[in-house]
Amino acid sequence: MAGKAAARGAAERILATFQAAGAALVEAEILQPADTLLDLYGEDIRARAYVTSDPLKGEMMLRPDFTVPVVKMHMADGAEPARYCYLGEVFRKQERRSDRQAEFFQVGYEVFDRENPSRADAEVFALFAASLAPLNLRAATGDIGILLSAIHGLTTLESRKAALLRHIWRPRRFTQLLDRYSGRTPMPETRAALLASVKAGVAPACTAPHIGLRSQAEIASRISALQADAAAPPISAEERALLQDLLDLSAKSPAALAQLRELARSLPAIRPAVERMAARLEALDRHGVNVGELDFEASHGRTTLEYYDGFVFSFHAADPGLPPIASGGRYDALTRVLGQGRSIPAVGGVIRPALVADLSGDASC
């Protein structure tokens, strides 16, 4: 792994490219308020971040990435449109015995622009592709927005859709829920036993001993939701199969677009997102990207940070043991969460300059 000096040298060269593209250089505090990240990701973020406590500011985290603080900064007082770049260290806990670094440099580029999101997607991807071209990396793309649209279009309870949407970034849990909602696996035994006891009047929702922090009204509401879920018909085998076909789709971008348009005949909810993909491919072509050789994987991005809600991409070396050299995507919903009622289409990405330095051999890019 390249030392800090080599990594910083590679980062500064990439940063100069981003500034030449019109991005303003910004900085972010190393310590970030934990409550913001916990609100966005839930308690799962604790397993990946370093947490500490400040006597004045409360619980804090060493920044796991730059996107959230940059979005907060822009939504507070940024002009529009805007392009930002940054360079600094981020911190991620690694599994025991992992050879991946817990502290490493990131250099990034973010675009906030309402005019033409597909063109902005293409701008960011093409800029990254050009910056990394000497390394002969494989690029992979996807679109979380197509998956989100498919789930919203399912013929089932809104509560079931919400659960699937919440776990789209946890593929194993997502599949478990989808199997249960489509009748392939039974309801968990503990839940079935609870509903049976309520139905039999053995443990009515509001007369059992009140234990814990939830109020009796909250407990009753939860049991009512479980009863509605148990009474609802399963997701049809046809919809289940169509969704699985979508999740499994992997092809070169033109072929993937053709397959998605065919799927949209039976899953009309995905049609707008599919046409946005078509517009993005046209914009990429205008930027000189060879879209005919560009890989598209419908499930790409489902194990990354959870704020992406549209186009996603990553660049990979031939060594499968290396993490992505670069990654990014669209995160419109994040601007709405952090904008206190305001929002703006946004897309960006990050490059790991230490890996760039390693792959280039002489720490140049």
Nearest residue to 323 (alpha-carbon basis) of 304, 307, 309 = 304
Please, which residues have CB within 8 angstroms of residue 222's CB and are 6 or more apart in sequence?
214
| Residue spans per domain, the chain | 1-28+63-137+317-365, 138-183+236-316, 188-233
The CATH label, of 3.30.930.10, 3.40.50.170, 3.40.50.300, 3.20.20.70, for the domain at 138-183+236-316 is 3.30.930.10
Cα separation values, 229 from 49, 168, 224, 226, Å: 35, 19, 9, 5
Cis amide leading into 272 (omega within 30): no
Q: pLDDT value at position 300? A: 95
Report yes or no: 274 and 257 within 8 Å, Cβ to Cβ. Answer: yes
The stretches in the chain having pLDDT less than 70 are 1-2, 42-44, 95-100, 187, 189-216, 218-220, 222-228, 230, 305, 362-365
DSSP code for 73: H
Q: pLDDT value at position 364? A: 42
The CATH topology of domain 1-28+63-137+317-365 is BirA Bifunctional Protein; domain 2 (3.30.930)
Q: pLDDT value at position 147? A: 97
Give me the sheet containing 51-54, strands edge to edge. Answer: 31-33, 58-62, 51-54
